[in-house]
Chains A and B, each alone.
Chain A
Amino acid sequence: MSSVILRNVVKRFHKFTAVHKTSLEIPDGAFVTLLGPSGCGKTTNLRMIAGLLDPSEGEILIGGKAVNNVPIHKRNLGIVFQNYALFPHKTVAENVAFGLKYRNVPKAEIAGRVQKALDLVQLPHVGARYPKALSGGQQQRIALARAIVIEPDVLLLDEPLSALDANLREDMRVELKRIQDQIGVTTVFVTHDQSEALAMSDSIVVMSAGRVEQMGSPDEVYNNPASEFVANFLGASNILPAQCSTRGADGAVLELAPFGKVPIPAEKAQRLSDAGPAKLVLRAEKLQVLPQGAAPEGVITTPATVETVDYQGQTVRYFLRLGDRQLQAINMIDDKPFEEGAAVQIGFRPKDCSALPGEAE
C-alpha cells in the first residue's frame, strides 16, 4: 500500500492541454474518486498514474518514490479497465493468474491465490470458463480479482461500473467498497456518476476541463461546493446573485432579494473574502415548498408560483417562478404534491446555504 502524489502534473497532447497543472495527494489506503464530466481529463490522470501515459510536466510519486521513469510493468499497480480487458483466449483462472507469473510466485502457490481472489469476488466456481461465458457483472468481478490478486500498491479503476445496468451497478458498488475495505488498498476510482462518487469515496476530486475544482470529503463537496461548477455538477443547485453586507469571523451576511438578510455560517462562507458581490448556493433539496402563509421557525420565506411539477415517486421536483428567475426544489412528498400554477411559499434555512464570491457588476 502506498500514497499517490501528483506534483504540478501537466499533460499535453500536441497543442491541446488535457490536464492543467494538477497537484493531488492521495493518502495511503484511501478511496479517492476522480469525478467530472466527459473529457475533463480523469482517464488521462489515471493513465499517468498507471504509467500508460507520460506526464508532459511534473512529478508523480507512489509510496514516496518518483515513478516518472518507472515503466508500467514495474509499478505494481492493479488496474481495472472500463471494458474489463480480460484476455479472451485465456480461462478465468489463467486471467487471474497472469500477474502472478511475473512475480516469481511458486507454481504450487498460484492456484491457491487465484482461488482466494475468486472467493473474494464471490465467483469461486468459474475458474475453468472463458470470459465470453460470463455476464458483464461477472467479467467485471474477474477483472477486479485479476487486479487485486497481485497485491498491488495502488488500485486504479476507470469507470468500472459504467457498462453495467443500474441495479447491478448499485450491487457492485457495495461489493467493490467491501473488497476495498477488506484489503485496504489505496484506490483511485474514476467516474462521471455523482451518486457513485458520493456513496463510495473517502474523498472526491471534482474535475472540470483538465483542472481540479475541489478536493474534499463527499459531505464537503456536496454541502460546501468550492465553485458554481461543483455546486451544479453534484445534483441540482440554485445559484442566486446576492450582495454581502458584512463579512466577519462568525460568517457573512448576504442580502438576497426578495428573501432579505441571510446569515451564512463561517465554515460555509470561507470562499468569500470581503463584503461585495456574492452568490448564494442553495441545494434544490434544501429549498422547501410550503403552503401559502406557512412560516416555520428559522426558515426565511417568500411567495412564489409552482411552474412545473416533476413527480418522481418518493420525491417531487418543482420548478418555481420567483420574479424573473426560476428555482428548483426537490422535496419529499408528504401528503400530495402541489399542483402546477399553485401559489406557494418557498423558503430555506440560512445554515443550509453557502456563499461564493460573485462577479462585480
Chain B
Amino acid sequence: MSVEAREARQPWILLSPALTAVALLLIVPLCFIVVYSFWLRTATGADQPGFFLDNWAEALTDPFYRDILINTLKIAAITTLVCALMGYPSAYFIARSNGNKAILLLLLMLPFWISYIIRTMSWINILGVSGALNSFLLWTGIISEPLQMLYNQATVILGLVHFLLPFMILNIFVSLDGIDVTLEDAANSLGATRWESFLQVTLPLSLPGLAAGGLLCFVLGAGTYITPLVLGGPRDAMFANLVFEAIITQLNWPLGSALSLMLLVVLGLLVAIYNRYLGMAQLMKGLG
C-alpha cells in the first residue's frame, strides 16, 4: 500500500468508533422514523404498516402546523439574537480578564450542575403569582394585585436565553481567547481608536465563534419542548411540543415521526444555508 493511501485511510480508522456509534444510535433510529412516518394509525389504535402519504399530507398542509413551525423559528431566532447581544460582552470580559479567567469560566459552567428542567422551573418561583418578584412588589406597595408575568412568549424566550446563554458565551470566548491581543495594540498604533480596532480586528476574527454559538443556540432553541411546556401558555407551543403531543399523548407514532422529520429537514436546510457563511468564517479562522 502506498504512503498516500495509508495516510488517506488513517482518519477513517481513527473515526470508526465514532462512526459506528453515530450509525447505530442516530442513522438506524432515523431510518425507523422515516419508515414509521409512512405508516398509518388506524381507528383501532394499531399502526398499519405500508406506504401511506396521509401523515405527510396532514403535516405539510395543515396551517396549524405551519404557523407553529414559523413561531418556533421566530422564537429560536429572537433567543439567538438576545444570546449573542448578551453573550458577546460577557465573553469579551472573560477573555480579556487576566488571572481570574479560570474562576470566571467555572462560574459559567456552574448552571450545568443543576438540571435544565429545575433551572427552567425556578422561574416559576421568581415570576409566579406568589413568586419572589411579585412578593417584593406587593411588599413595597408598587402593586396591589400580583402581576401575571408567566406563561407567555416572553417567558419562553427568557427561559431559553437562560438555558442557552452559556453555550453562546463559551463559543465566543473560545474564539476571542485565541486572538492575539497585540493585534489590537497594532491597530491602535496605526491610528485606530479602541472601538475602531475592535470593529476592524477583534470582531471579524471572533465571527467563527459567534457563528458557531449562534447555530448551536438556534438549533437547540428550535428543538426544545421543555421550556414552552414549563414557561409557555397554551398558545406558546413550539414545534417539538407537537411531536411530544403526537407521540406521548396521542400515541400516534406515524404522525409524530412525520412531524419530527419535518422539523429535522427545516433545521437541516437552515444549517446548510448557514454553513455556507460559517464555512467562510472557518476559512478566515484557518488563516489566523
Residues of A bordering B, CB below 8 Å? 50-52, 71-79, 81, 83, 85-89, 98-99, 101-103, 130-132, 146-147, 150
Contacts and interface: CB of A to CB of B under 8 A. Distances in A.
A188 B185 CA distance: 17
A102 B205 CA distance: 20
Q: Which of B187, B190, B193 has the most CB of A within 10 A?
A: B190
Given A130-B287, A132-B287, A132-B288, A85 B186 contact: yes
Given A73-B191, A74-B191, A89-B287, 19 more contacts: A50-B189, A52-B189, A72-B188, A72-B189, A78-B189, A81-B186, A85-B180, A85-B182, A85-B185, A87-B186, A87-B201, A98-B187, A98-B192, A99-B190, A103-B191, A130-B287, A131-B287, A147-B189, A150-B191
Nearest to A158: B182
B4 to A, nearest CB: 24
Nearest to A77: B189
Contacts of B204: 89
Interface string B174-198: 0000001011011111111100100
A152 B94 CA distance: 34
B46 to A, nearest CB: 60
Nearest to A50: B189
B284 interface: yes
A74 B196 CA distance: 13
Contacts of A79: 185-186, 189
Contacts, number: 73
A254 B265 CA distance: 93
22 contacts: A50-B189, A51-B189, A71-B193, A73-B189, A73-B191, A73-B192, A73-B193, A77-B189, A81-B182, A81-B185, A83-B182, A85-B180, A87-B187, A87-B200, A88-B205, A88-B288, A89-B205, A99-B191, A102-B191, A130-B287, A132-B287, A147-B189
A152 B196 CA distance: 20
Contacts of A50: 185, 189
B190 A83 contact: no
A132 B193 CA distance: 26
A103 B288 CA distance: 26
A85 B185 CA distance: 9
Contacts of B182: 81, 83, 85
A246 to B, nearest CB: 55
Interface in B140-185: 180, 182-183, 185
Contacts of A71: 188, 193
Nearest to A94: B200
A132 B287 CA distance: 6
Contacts of A76: 191
A52 B185 contact: yes
Nearest to A52: B185
A98 B185 contact: no
B190 A150 contact: yes
A99 B200 CA distance: 12
